[in-house]
Amino acid sequence: MKVYTKKALNEFHQSLTYDDISLIPTEISRIKSRTEALTNCSFLGLKLSVPVISSPMDTVTGIEMAKELSNLGCLGILNRFDSSLDEVLSNGKSVRGIKGVSISVTTGLKTIEKLVSCNYVICIDTANANNKEVLKKTEQIRKKFESAKLIVGNIAHGSTLQQLEDVGADAVRVGIGSGSVCTTSIQTGIGIGQVSSLLNTYFARENKKLKIKIIADGGIKSPGDVVKAIALGADIVMLGRMLSGTRETPGEVIKYQGQLWKKYRGSASFGVKMRNEFIEGEETMVAYKGAVQNVINAISDGLKSSMSYMNCLNLNELRKINAFAILSNSSYLERLPKM
List residues with catalytic annotation.
Answer: 182
Q: Are 82 and 65 in contact (CB under 8 A)?
A: no
How buried is 329 (Cβ within 10 angstroms: 0-12 exposed, 13-18 middle, 19+ buried)?
A: exposed
Closest by CA position to 169, among listed 199, 137, 195: 137
Please report, as a single letter, which amino acid is at residue 139: E
| Residue 336 to residue 327: CA distance in whole angstroms | 13
- Report phi then psi at 123, rounded to 5: -110, 115
Torsion of the alpha carbons at 61, 65, 71 and 74, rounded to the nearest 10: -30
Closest by CA position to 41, among listed 19, 73, 71: 73
Please report, as a single letter, which amino acid is at residue 257: Q
Three-class SS state of 204? helix
29 contacts: CB under 8 Å, gap ≥ 6: 308, 309, 310, 311
Mode of pairing for the β-strands spanning 213-217 and 171-174: parallel
Proportion of the chain in helix, strand, coil states, percent, rounded to 5: 35, 20, 45
Q: Which residues of 79-117 are buried (b: 16+ CB within 10 A; e: fewer)?
A: bbbbebbeebeeeeeebeebbbbbbeeebeeeebebbbe
| Residue 200 to residue 156: CA distance in whole angstroms | 8
Looking at residue 36, what DSSP letter applies? G
